[in-house]
């Protein structure tokens, strides 16, 4: 992937695409970022790679005058070019008068649909046509589509829940303030955030075990393709950075070390890159790390992580 900074924005309905040279940069940014009116707070969250690695979806939120409603919507873009990718089924979602909350995209294994939390209910939307289907009528946040396509796990009232992908009754997996569930690629394990740590349990429930520990918040886990590692966002050391933990041993490696806020990591399907959100250039954008060999990492270098999946 070329070392270019690619920024895509929208201003009064017009698409803006800017390419800037980024010589020797280990990171590049590619983001579809609507520019809010003056006084608006806004941000991007919840990165999801398409199964073929060509597209990234995320959601953008904003709050501002005159009524200070919080709104959010899902967008997608081509990883190589930065061009927006239209998810046609999003237009079929019902919206509340204030614009609605469409958040936390997750791809179907075949890449033809997205699961989203729309006004805190779970829906699936088609990529190719204007169709949408409601999956769950319970409160749902941070859904994750199973690797075999048969079900979702999501954060709901009082814990994590499971529901068939075609709809039906939800079943409880955990009890507590659990968030950010993530399936391992083989579908046998689910990682999630509980309190300030990353936990892992079997895909059908059972006793979860902590993978990280400590007073600093660890959250937003993302599995490597072979299930050996988890990337996650952490406040370790007093700043928001991306870390990796070995699932078998709990051994930690720090991947970013920057005063900026880095969060929401997502491992690429081929394991050669991690996308994350950062404000390191002064504006919150999606960044893709293809080589962090210049960052001191012990006991594993980023190049060593990358080599596992080539």
Number of domains in the chain: 1
pLDDT score for 163: 97
- Would you say the C-alpha torsion 54, 57, 58, 64 has a positive or negative sign? positive
What is the 3-class SS of the chain, one letter each residue?
CCCEEEEEEEECCEEEEEEEECCCCCEEEEEEEECCCCCCEEEEEEEEECCCCCEEEEEEEEECCCCCCEEEEEEEEECCCCCECCCHHHHHCCCCCCCCEEEEEEECCCCCEEEEEECCEEEEEECCCCCEEEEECCCCEEEEECCCCCEEEEEECCEEEEEECCCCCCEECCCCCEEEEEECCCCCEEEEEECCEEEEEECCEEEEEECCCCCCCEEEEEECCCCCEEEEEECHHHCCEEEEEECCCCCEEECCCCCCCEEEEEECCCCCCEEEEECCCCCCEEEEECCCCCCCCCCCCHHHHHHCCC
Query: What is the pLDDT at residue 94?
Result: 81
pLDDT in tens, 130-144: 999 999 988 999 999
Q: Domain range holding 142?
A: 4-307
- Alpha carbons 114 and 130: distance in angstroms, whole number: 12
Distance of CA 282 to the CA centre of its chain: 21
165 vs 38: which has the higher pLDDT: 165
Do 284 and 293 form a contact (C-beta atoms < 8 A)? no
CATH for 262: 2.120.10.30
Largest CA distance in the chain: 53
- pLDDT at 97 (0 to 100): 47
Determine how many CB atoms are found less than 10 A away from the CB of residue 302: 21
Token couple for 74: 């899902």
Predicted local distance difference test score (pLDDT) of residue 165: 96
Contact 241, 256 (CB under 8 A): yes
Q: In this predicted structure, which of 3-7, 75-79, 186-190 has the lowest mean pLDDT?
A: 3-7
pLDDT per residue over 26-58, tens digit each?
454 444 444 344 344 667 778 899 999 999 998
* Segment among 72-76, 103-107, 112-116, 249-253 with least mean pLDDT: 72-76
Interval 200-235: pLDDT, tens: 999 988 899 999 998 889 999 999 988 989 999 999
CA–centroid distance for 91 within its chain: 21
């Amino acid at each position: 992937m070329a070392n270019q900074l690619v920024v895509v924005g929208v201003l009064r309905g017009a698409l803006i695409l800017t390419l800037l040279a980024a010589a020797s940069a280990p990171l590049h940014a590619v983001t579809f970022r609507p520019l809010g009116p003056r006084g608006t707070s806004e941000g991007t969250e919840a990165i999801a790679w398409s199964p073929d690695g060509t597209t990234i979806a995320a959601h953008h939120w904003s709050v501002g005058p005159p009524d200070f409603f919080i709104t959010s919507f899902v967008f997608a873009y081509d990883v190589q070019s930065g061009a927006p990718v239209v998810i046609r089924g999003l237009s079929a979602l019902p919206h509340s008068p204030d614009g609605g909350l469409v958040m936390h995209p997750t791809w179907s294994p075949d890449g033809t649909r997205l699961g989203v939390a729309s006004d805190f209910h779970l829906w699936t939307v088609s990529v190719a046509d204007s169709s949408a289907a409601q999956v769950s009528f319970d409160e749902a946040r941070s859904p994750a589509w199973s690797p075999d396509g048969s079900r979702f796990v999501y954060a709901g009232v009082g814990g994590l829940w499971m529901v068939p992908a075609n709809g039906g009754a939800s079943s409880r997996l955990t009890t507590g303030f659990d968030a950010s569930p993530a399936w391992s690629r083989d579908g046998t394990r689910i990682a999630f955030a509980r309190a300030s740590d990353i936990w892992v349990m079997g895909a059908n429930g059972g006793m979860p075990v902590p993978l990280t520990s400590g007073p600093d918040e660890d959250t937003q886990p993302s599995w490597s393709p072979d299930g050996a590692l988890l990337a996650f966002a952490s406040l370790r050391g007093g700043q928001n950075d991306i870390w990796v933990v070995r699932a078998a041993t709990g051994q930690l490696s720090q991947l970013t070390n920057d005063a900026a806020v880095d969060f929401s990591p997502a491992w690429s399907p081929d394991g050669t890159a991690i996308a994350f959100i950062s404000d390191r250039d002064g504006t919150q954008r999606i960044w893709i790390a293809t080589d962090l060999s210049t960052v001191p990492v012990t006991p594993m270098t980023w190049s060593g992580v990358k080599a596992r999946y080539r």
